Amino acid sequence: MKKSLLALAVLGAFAGAASAQSSLTVFGIVDLSVNSVKNGSVSQKFMDSNQLNSNRLGFRGNEDLGGGMTASFWLEAGMANDNPGNLAFTRRSTVSLSGGFGEVRLGRDYSNTFTNEATFDAYGANGFGSSINLYFGLGPTTGLSAANLGSGATTQVRTNNMVGYFTPGNLGGFYASAQMGAGEGVKGNKYTGFRVGYAAGPVDVAVAMSQTDVAASNKFKKFNIGASYNLGVAKVLALYDQSKFGALKYTTFQLSTSVPLGQGEFRASYTKGNAEGGTTAFNGSDATLLGAEYIYNLSKRTALYGQYGRLANKGGSALALGGAVAAGATGFTSTGYGAGVRHIF
């Protein structure tokens, strides 16, 4: 009897140790705002998700394998709270192994070039002042995406079937990652890219490049470089981004800033978009974006915010804040303002 009790005690101790070496976290963001956008003479009022941060529901966990190695998973689904639909883990779905060698990650994740775009934009990738409004909106003359220029690439934000490598965090400020996404017979899915940077103290700078195979002899190529400097009283960020498909190019340059103000934060941005390499109409399809935003933190997890944006199109450009515009509308000015609440859990 004593031996049985001793055995049970030992098994219980091992079970406790095993559970202590694993973890599971449920996390998410709920962000909802009311907005008003005027595209030319057409006005629209709407409720929208994701204007301060992208809505999400996620599960992540890890297991200590011993010897400095860890196995991890990350499942993250997007949500549209103003009009709920199906919940699918399309934001991130990865499994990985990490250790002193860095991290090897498999699944669906952000592309290297988009990571650079979001990192060196004070807005991240959300809101009326983010440069995402220029390279993911309705594009010059054709109504296609300005960023993919009709190439059919599906890898601008995230990459499916991805194998990625990320360097460890003990390289004296230097960091790098490389990714490959298998096409699996689908045009626009095959991706290769890398990102290299240096971050130490107030300075962070990184360059990223990628290419995607599409249903054409040309490849969709992307290059960007970003930098930020934290002055203490303000953080200043700069981003240069170019998408290329054959001779067609769409280039954006952004300057943005984030200024802490007591319990709040003020953000502002200026972004210029330039099209070149095509017809006269295409080359004249430029755009300029101005943005301002104030965030008031009610707590570490809950914030109120207000935002304003003004996007001026030129020539055949048809970029708009808050989504699509009527077919055939070009060269108009898009202005928007809104207010919302965001909660992190």
Q: So what's the pLDDT on residue 149?
A: 61
What are the tens digits of pLDDT across the range 251-289?
999 999 999 999 999 999 999 999 888 888 778 889 999
- What are the extents of the domains in the chain? 26-344
Report residue 68 as tokens: 């400095």
Q: Which one-letter DSSP state was computed for residue 13?
A: H
The domain 26-344: what is its CATH number? 2.40.160.10
Q: Report the share of the chain in percent with pLDDT over 70.
A: 87
pTM of the model: 0.88
**For residue 15, pLDDT beyond 50:** no
Q: So what's the pLDDT on residue 229?
A: 98
What are the tens digits of pLDDT across the range 230-251?
999 999 999 999 988 888 888 9
Amino acid present at 95 = V
Q: Which residues contact 118 (CB under 8 A, 6 or more apart)?
A: 110, 124, 125
**For residue 39, pLDDT beyond 80:** yes
**For residue 73, pLDDT beyond 90:** yes
Sign of CA dihedral 260, 266, 267, 270: negative
Amino acid present at 246 = G
Rounded Cα distance between 147 and 164, Å, is 23
What are the tens digits of pLDDT across the range 168-199?
999 999 999 999 999 998 888 999 999 999 99
**For residue 315, pLDDT beyond 90:** no
Rounded Cα distance between 30 and 34, Å, is 14
**For residue 141, pLDDT beyond 60:** no
Banded model confidence at residue 143, pLDDT cuts 50, 70, 90: very low
**For residue 319, pLDDT beyond 60:** yes
Could you give the residue ranges of the DSSP H alpha helices within the chain? 2-20, 112-119, 132-135, 280-283
Q: Which residues contact 329 (CB under 8 A, 6 or more apart)?
A: 39, 40, 42, 318
Rounded Cα distance between 313 and 302, Å, is 35
Query: Residue 265: enclosing H or E segment and its boundaries?
Result: strand 264-276
Q: How many residues does the chain have?
A: 345
Task: Give me the mean pLDDT over the 97-120 stretch.
Answer: 97
Rounded Cα distance between 122 and 133, Å, is 14
**Which of 151, 140, 149, 145 lies closest to 280 in space, CA to CA?**
140
Q: So what's the pLDDT on residue 137?
A: 52
Q: So what's the pLDDT on residue 142?
A: 41
